[in-house]
Structure 1
């Protein structure tokens, strides 16, 4: 009986801990065909007020930069690297370096070369770190799936 009670308490605490995880970024995805065998995928971050995420080009020794890993596929290949709009650049004393970041929202893009004109699905994972003026949250990994219609 004692074990059951302890298990119930542990389960209740784990649900409570899960509810306390902070998240200040929502991700959404879209794709657009630009020719029968080319497309662009869009990965949009909508960021809560007073928070920011870092750009693709943050140097080592600083915060975790936003990055994208695309799953290998027989349906498509990547054309170049992901691109970003012009970020805010600022010296952050916490990291003792200039960093690039985005507030409110940002849309990253990746060009895709399709192996055929058929429908395809782009899958992968992104990593990002969220900070405000007082703290940084641990980096998050988010899986994504972006369908490309015909």
Structure 2
């Protein structure tokens, strides 16, 4: 009887471990590189486990939750344009949403150019959040939010 309980416990733990792994199929990394004296690229990289994907920032209303990047206001920093998507987008009609969607699998980089105001002492910290929804062909997870903090330092040159 003890052996059966032990085996059942092991099976339960391995099942829970598999479920936990699938609950977080997207890993994020955040960094910043100096482009010149006052300009930086903030790079937000999403790495997705197969078969998961996340959606573009540019989605039609009524569809899946788009990836949304929000920066905390900082009077020393100005955003230059919008965050660009650097990856290979997949465009596909999805019956569940009844519209064309645009998403990324594998790895995608979101790159936001920022300028540090003149006469601001560096390094400067930029904070924000990324809201995203991970989906596979079978299911979508609840939208998740990741907080980030990057340091804008002129010594970190673009390579």
Aligned partners of 2:121, 2:129: CA distance in 1, in Å?
A: 24
Structure 2 partner of 1:40: 41
Q: Which residue of 2 aligns with 1:145?
A: 149
Deviation of residue 35 (structure 1)? Answer: 1.0
Match of 1:103 in 2: 105
How far residue 118 of structure 1 moved from its aligned partner, in angstroms, is 1.7
Q: Distance in 1 between matches of 2:96 and 2:121?
A: 48
Q: TM-score, normalised by structure 1?
A: 0.84
Q: CA deviation at 1:46?
A: 0.4
- Give the C-alpha shift of residue 117 in structure 1: 5.8
Q: Which residue of 1 aligns with 2:78?
A: 77
The aligned length equals: 133
Within a 5 Å distance, the mapping from 1:25-36 to structure 2 comes to 25-36=26-37
Deviation at 1:22, TM superposition (A): 0.6
TM-score after normalising by structure 2: 0.79
After superposition, what is the alpha-carbon deviation per residue over 1:17-63, rounded to whole angstroms, capped at 9, x for unaligned? xx848110000011111111110100000000111000010111000
Q: Retained in 2: the 8 A contact 1:36–1:117?
A: no
- Superposed structure 1 runs of 4+ greater than 4 Å apart: none
Question: Does the 8 A contact of 1:119 with 1:148 survive in 2?
Answer: yes
Query: How many angstroms apart in 2 are the aligned matches of 1:62 and 1:74?
Result: 34
Q: 1-side partners of 2:112 and 2:52: how far apart?
A: 24
- Equivalent positions of 1:124-143 (< 5 A) are 124-143=128-147
Residues 37 and 117 in structure 1, CA contact (< 8 A), matched pair in contact too:
no
Distance, in Å, in 1 between the alignment partners of 2:76 and 2:89 is 32
- Alignment gaps of 5+ in structure 1: 1-15
CA separation in 2, counterparts of 1:101 and 1:22?
A: 19
